[in-house]
Chain A
Amino acid sequence: MALILDHVSHIYEEGTSMEAAALKDVNLVIPDGQFIGLIGHTGSGKSTLVQHLNGLMKPTSGTVYYNGADIHEDGFDRKNLRSKVGLVFQYPEHQLFETDVFKDVCFGPKNMGLEEKEVQLRAYGALKQVGLADEYFYQSPFDLSGGQKRRVAIAGVLAMKPEVLILDEPTAGLDPKGRDEILDQIALLRKETGITVVLVSHSMEDVAKYVDRIIVMNRGSVMFDDEPRKVFRHVQALEEVGLAAPQVTYIMQELKRNGLDVDTDAITVGEARDGILEALERRKK
């Protein structure tokens, strides 16, 4: 049991005319090793939620537990928590500041008070994990392309060797190729290290292919929390809150309506292809 949110609510600017509830009574269990997609429309409370997971924000009411300990209790080591629960913000490349890429990635592990050698080992390992070529290691981070900068920023968090990695919209503003590369890299990383990954996104397409579980947020509350294919059955409810199921799900449902007996639970292009071929095969017989 890694992270538990128990009746967590958060209200911004409480007691003013700008008062707004960002989270309303959220209860979640995030067990070790799961790959979770956190989905919601803009302003649904996704970003607020993830900032509660590493103690950057304090719930207005409710409790967050990490390995059974209340993270806002006096004496709880929140600095240590932040190295265990690594959070990569939206547009993380905006946080780069050092003179070269390698030094920037060293920032996290250095803050943990590790030895110089260990710091460098971790930085090197993290840069390899995100698939950045060696030739960029000693360049200024500001000379890199958008996609490369983002990799460096993600490496900056990975270098702390977190047990839980949270990525807030890691593909925002990237082209389709850059998006696929980053997501594949994250999936590979998770396969190799077995860490828990929470992927925040507003695109079902991004998430459907990779995750074991989808949490859908709407207006600060958890709307669905289930396996992807089960969540995608609620196409209409999802559309009502400004989200959509993956395009293949729509195609499969349309095919079914038109008489082809396919399995409408397919959520990736590969699954859909197999399903359609199977149905056609059945039809021939």
Chain B
Amino acid sequence: MLRDITLGQYYQADSVIHRLDPRVKLSATVLFIISLFVVDNWVGYVIAAVFLACMVKISKVPFRFMVKGMKSIVFLLLIAVAFNLFLTPGEAVFSVWKLTVTREGVRIAAMMAVRLVFLIIGSSLMTLTTTPNNLTDGMEKLMAPLKIFHVPVHEVAMMMSIALRFIPILLEETDKIMKAQIARGADFESGNLVKKAKAMVPLLVPLFISAFRRANDLAMAMEARCYRGGEHRTKMKPLIYHKRDRIGYLVMFAYLAACIYFGRIVTLPAVWGMVWNRNA
């Protein structure tokens, strides 16, 4: 019923991407996002698309899991595209009523759409192949230098891992309460907006109570184990770079370099020129 939310949902599989160090995956995701905003011609996007397709293939995660995460941003995507399409000044293509679609508008809107879609797929690839625990471990390690500026890195990482851990639990709980209320004749689907909002009360009240109860239990359990966070804590599974991780970094930087070179510096005619010269 509520299982179609991909955020923070780990997909178990055995692939190189799954085994990579979370730090590599985190940096790679950041680099990938940067690359999307660096490129500004179609060659760059083709490179990004091919790269992403390869990564998805290697990860062994079915493609529909990535698409699932997209559902939530469809609305945002439409708004972004519409605004860019109609409100960019430039050479008019055609106009409807007071709105004019310009050549530049089409270009920017298309780019925006592709960027957003790639961005979502890229980052869900990371969350689908990394367990929440690994992810926050990686984040903690990567952000460690910030400790100099008195940023409570460990605490932030802890909060994040707890929040991520609670997503599936609360989803399951929602599912359970929903079913229990449906068994008592509750109707969450029909009716107008007001009626639907009212129908949520029997779901939300128990859900909040259960969330607080769980938070309380967890705090108690942590205290009972003398948790105090921060300094001098050792890890059961410390993060260590392997050969595959170094290769991962290399691949990622090579990809970024390619994006900058072909997607930014070299413009389209120049690429054609290169091909032409070789043939000649």
Contact = CB atoms under 8 A, between A and B. Distances in A.
Contacts of A97: 201-202, 205-206
Contacts of B177: 94-95
Contacts of B179: 51, 56, 89
Given A17-B13, A111-B187, A82 B202 contact: no
Contacts, number: 62
Contacts of B202: 95, 97, 107
Nearest to A54: B183
Interface in A126-182: 142, 156-157, 160
A97 B176 CA distance: 14
Nearest to B179: A56
Contacts of A13: 3
B185 A108 contact: yes
B269 interface: no
Given A94-B177, A97-B205, A107-B202, A87 B183 contact: yes
A45 interface: no
A95 B201 CA distance: 11
Contacts of A63: none
Given A17-B11, A17-B12, A96-B206, A111 B62 contact: no
Interface in B177-225: 177, 179-187, 201-202, 205-206, 209-210
Interface in A23-53: 51
A36 B180 CA distance: 21
The DSSP consensus for interface residues of chain B is helix
B184 A157 contact: yes
B183 A56 contact: yes
Given A18-B12, A97-B206, A79 B180 contact: no
Given A94-B206, A142-B209, A111 B12 contact: no
Contacts of B206: 94-97
A51 B184 CA distance: 13
A86 interface: yes
Interface residues on B, range: 20 to 34
A16 interface: yes
A156 B180 CA distance: 11
A224 to B, nearest CB: 28
Contacts of A235: none
B195 to A, nearest CB: 12
B198 to A, nearest CB: 12
B185 A160 contact: yes
A279 interface: no
A111 B205 contact: no
Contacts of A95: 177, 180-181, 184, 202, 206
Interface in A63-109: 79, 82-83, 86-87, 89, 92, 94-97, 107-108
A112 interface: yes
A111 B210 contact: no
Contacts of A82: 182-185
B185 A89 contact: no
Contacts of A87: 183
A111 to B, nearest CB: 3
Interface in B158-185: 176-177, 179-185
B242 to A, nearest CB: 24
B184 A160 contact: yes
Contacts of A89: 176, 179-180, 183
Contacts of B3: 13
A226 B13 CA distance: 42
Contacts of A160: 184-185
A142 B205 CA distance: 11
B183 A111 contact: no
Contacts of B187: 79, 111
A107 B184 contact: yes
Nearest to A90: B176
Contacts of A51: 179
Interface of B: 3, 11-13, 62, 176-177, 179-187, 201-202, 205-206, 209-210
Interface of A: 13, 16-18, 51, 54, 56, 79, 82-83, 86-87, 89, 92, 94-97, 107-108, 110-112, 142, 156-157, 160
Closest 8 CB pairs of A and B: A111-B185, A97-B205, A95-B180, A108-B184, A87-B183, A89-B180, A97-B202, A97-B206
